[in-house]
């Protein structure tokens, strides 16, 4: 079956540190991959997608994701996390949304 998987239920990073939310897929063919974010008390917002072309995809709010065919991964990354990045992030493949990928807690108190 085609699916995407979350590797971590929750990720905690310090504000200013790099943020990675992991996603792997198990599609036999070329996958279509999507990242969405849900900020507190808001609806789902589209961040970025991979369909073809460049492996490194840039999206909204300073996020990017790198498609890695040999690793079958599409991890979401941001060089420097903000407190406002605390949200629920969803990875989706083709038209199958598997659900919660990662719940990110940043700690704006640190430093």
Ligand X SMILES: *[C@@H]1O[C@H](CO)[C@@H](O)[C@H](O)[C@H]1NC(C)=O
Binding-site ranges for ligand X (CB under 6 A): 55, 66, 68, 70-71
CB of 43 to ligand X, least distance (A): 32
Q: How far is the CB of 23 from ligand X (least distance, A)?
A: 14
Q: Give the phi and the psi of residue 61 in degrees, each rounded to 5.
A: 60, 25
Check if the beta carbon of residue 33 is closer than 8 Å to that of residue 91. Answer: yes
Closer Cβ to ligand X, 66 or 103, answer by number: 66
Q: What letter would DSSP give residue 53?
A: S
Residue closer to ligand X (CB basis): 37 or 48: 48
The H helix count followed by the E strand count for the chain is 0, 11
Give the distance, in angstroms, between the CA of residue 79 and the centroid of all CA atoms in the same chain. Answer: 13
What is the smallest separation between the CB atom of 20 and ligand X, expressed in angstroms? 12
Q: Judged by CB, which is closer to ligand X: 72, or 98?
A: 72
């Amino acid at each position: 079956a085609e699916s995407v998987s979350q590797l971590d239920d929750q990720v905690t990073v310090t504000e200013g540190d790099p943020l990675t939310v992991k996603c792997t897929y198990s599609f036999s063919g070329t996958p279509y991959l999507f990242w969405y974010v849900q900020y507190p008390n808001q609806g789902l917002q589209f961040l970025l997608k991979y369909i073809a072309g460049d492996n490194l995809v840039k999206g909204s709010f300073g996020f990017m994701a790198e498609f890695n065919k040999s690793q079958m991964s599409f991890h979401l990354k941001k060089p420097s996390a903000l407190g406002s990045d605390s949200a629920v992030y969803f990875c989706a493949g083709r038209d199958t949304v598997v659900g919660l990928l990662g719940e990110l807690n940043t700690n704006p108190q640190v430093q």
